[in-house]
Amino acid sequence: MESALNEAVAQIERAKAAGSPIVHSFFDEPTNTATYVVWDPATRKAAIVDSVLDFDAAAGRTKTASADAVIAYVRQNGLTVDWLLETHAHADHLSAAPYLQKALGGQLAIGREIIRVQNVFGKIFNAGTNFERDGSEFDRLFDDGDRFAIGDIEALALHVPGHTPADMAYVIGDAVFTGDTLFMPDYGTARADFPGGDARQLYRSIRRLMQLPDETRLFLCHDYKAAGRDQYVWETTVGAQRVGNVHVHEGVDEDDFVAMRTSRDATLSMPKLILPSVQVNMRGGHLPEPEANGTRYLKIPLDVL
């Protein structure tokens, strides 16, 4: 087992003995997205993972109800936000990180490969020379194995590419925030057909996560209610994924997974908010700069995705 994963396993074991972080979730049904506030009960230091800015695409209007609920929870519990963590540049919702940062503080962080995503989508959206493609819209770019902390709780970043090149999983105490890499066991795995996505990388990233202890809590970015299930659910365990994930349980061959994922992805429509979401999220959640008339615009490129 390689060093970053060894460190993650050791950290999880220490956290089970020292005390787990508190995790509070907010589920946004219009985008099927779970946002998390994870915090240290000893110091009341916190991180916010994968926040949502409400967006009415038909009207071109943003709202902050989802983010305001997060702010209210943080203030009601007397928390100090140290980190605003993005698992990747989302294609299905706009990030509320800048709005939350203005209200609550904290460093905005994502994986270093966001630079690759910025270069690809900067060209697609013709973002111009004013758009820096160096990750500078974020306060911290994580590399695989980078360590950080939330109060007294140890945390570590694991690079899990495949869905996008920049996907990170955050191991915080004994809890892991996987982004879009995995869904609930009865729903399967993320698509890998966006620019820079790779089904083979996705398989290997999932296998990496499945080497964590079986009892490790996994907090997912989305749930879509698999057939036959009436409730939204976004928390599971490594053991449950290893045994029961319908796409990638133990015994599924890499080539078979790649064939399944590639075939399945070819049948999927693009997320309905992909065009506005990526334009905003590649900028760290900031909207494009206003044009000469003072209005901000999102572009719709034709025949490129």
Q: Is the pLDDT of residue 150 over 70?
A: yes
Average pLDDT over residues 264-276: 94
Spatial CB neighbours of 227, under 8 Å, sequence gap ≥ 6: none
Mean pLDDT, the chain, integer = 95
Percent of the chain whose pLDDT exceeds 90: 85
Averaged pLDDT, 135-144: 95
The predicted model gives 233-262 an average pLDDT of 97
Sequence spans of domains, the chain? 1-275
Task: Choose the weakest-confidence range: 65-69, 222-226, 300-304.
Answer: 300-304
Q: Where are the beta strands (DSSP E) in the chain?
A: 22-28, 33-39, 45-49, 54-56, 61-63, 80-85, 107-111, 140-142, 147-150, 153-159, 168-172, 175-179, 217-220, 235-237
Which one has a higher pLDDT value, 1 or 44?
44
Query: DSSP 3-state assignment of 232?
Result: coil
8 and 175 in contact (C-beta within 8 Å)?
Answer: no
Name the band, by pLDDT with cuts 50, 70 and 90, for residue 19.
Answer: confident
> What CA–CA distances, in Å, run from 148 to 145, 151, 285?
10, 10, 22
Alpha-carbon distances of 9 from 17, 49, 102, 210, rounded to whole Å:
13, 21, 34, 11
| Average pLDDT, integer, range 42-55 | 98
Q: State the number of CA atoms in the 13 A half-sphere of 214 facing the CB.
A: 7
Residue 64 has pLDDT above 80, yes or no: yes
Burial class from Cβ neighbours inside 10 Å (0-12, 13-18, 19+) for residue 302 reads: exposed
Tokens read off for 302:
């034709």
Instruction: Supply the pLDDT for residue 1.
Output: 57
Top-tier CATH class for 1-275: alpha beta
| Average pLDDT estimate for 242-270 | 97
| pLDDT above 90 (res 278) | yes
The predicted-structure confidence for 94-106, as pLDDT tens digits, reads as follows 999 999 999 999 9
pLDDT digits (tens, 9 = 90+) for 109-135: 999 999 999 988 988 888 876 788 888
pLDDT digit string, tens, across residues 175-212: 999 999 999 999 999 999 998 999 999 999 999 999 99
Q: Packing angle between helix 254-265 and helix 199-209, nearest 10 degrees?
A: 120
pLDDT, one tens digit per residue, over 26-47 is 999 999 999 999 999 999 999 9
The reported pLDDT for the residue numbered 300 is: 87
At 122 the pLDDT is 87
Cα separation, 242 vs 305, in Å, equals 33
Residue 225 CA to residue 207 CA, distance in Å, equals 23
User: Measured at the alpha carbon of residue 34, what is the angle toward residues 48 and 122, in degrees to the nearest 5?
Assistant: 75
Coil, strand, or helix at residue 37? strand
Q: Report CA-CA distances (Å) from 249 to 186, 234, 244, 284.
A: 11, 18, 6, 34
Query: Which residue matches tokens 């950080």?
Result: 148
Nearest Cα neighbor of 163 from 90, 236, 94, 111 is 90
